[in-house]
Amino acid sequence: MLAAVEEGGLAFRLGDEDALDEALRIRDKLKISENLEFNPKKVHKILDAAGMEEIIQKVSAGISDARQRITNLRKMIEDISSEAGKHGIDLLQVIDRFLGHGAIQIISGHQSKGGEFDIVFFIGLEDDVLPDYRAHNNDEKLAEERRIFYVGLTRARKAAYLTSVTHRPVQDWVKNAVPSRFIGHIPYECFSEVTL
């Protein structure tokens, strides 16, 4: 089951304890449902067994809010069935695709906090980019830039590729670029250098 926890989402509206209780009730309902196939073409049966429409009606701000949420839920069911049929995959594979598992994700160092990835490509590792040129003479900003670098680097489970350029286009000219000073903080034995 997918549940939104952002402000305005179902879990948010239920509150922490109520959302957990509701999730456990859904789990129990699904466990006792007989002949429940986890088939993308039968997602509506899973949601019916879980009582999702009733939950939506319970937490919605009114009739039109409930109607809109149920419409969104039905659209999601159509998307799941369509995706499964188009690619010949099962329900869990569809959910993985919707969540971006196995996909290339382009994110900032800030956005990477809490995530883990098999391989991380860290691009733009030049002084004036990371650390940003405005941080050069400010110890506090430089420390924050170093933390961003560390967070991004430690998201890699298997390998991290650190890239920099020798020349960077800046508006109407090209400037010589210097690799980020943060690269020098990594022990040499951690590197396998590749020059293109």
What is the DSSP secondary structure assignment for residue 131, as one 8-state letter?
T
Secondary-structure class of domain 117-190 per CATH: alpha beta
pLDDT interval class at 17 (50, 70, 90):
low
Tokens of 81: 């069935």
150 within 8 A of 113, measured Cβ to Cβ: no
Residue 17 exposed, middle or buried by CB count within 10 Å (0-12, 13-18, 19+) = exposed
Q: What angle do CA 141, 143, 149 make, to 5 degrees?
A: 105
Mapping DSSP onto H, E and C, the string for 141-183 reads HHHHHHHHHHHHHCCEEEEEEECCCCEEEECCEEEECCECHHH
Sign of CA dihedral 47, 48, 51, 55: positive
DSSP assignment string, 50-117:
HTHHHHHHHHSSSHHHHHHHHHHHHHHHHHHHHHHHHHT--HHHHHHHHHTTTS-----TTTTTT--E
pLDDT interval class at 7 (50, 70, 90):
very low
Kind of pairing, strands 117-122 and 156-162?
A: parallel
pLDDT interval class at 165 (50, 70, 90):
confident
Length of the chain in terms of residues written: 196
Instruction: Return the closest-CA partner of residue 56 out of 10, 5, 3.
Output: 10
Q: Tokens 């429409």 sit at which residue?
A: 53
pLDDT tens digits, residue range 65-91?
A: 888 888 888 888 888 888 888 888 777
Which residues of the chain does CATH 3.30.160.800 include?
Answer: 117-190
138 SS3 class: coil
H or E segment and range at residue 140: helix 139-153
**Predicted confidence (pLDDT) at residue 159 exceeds the cutoff of 80:** yes
Comparing 136 with 97, the larger pLDDT belongs to 136
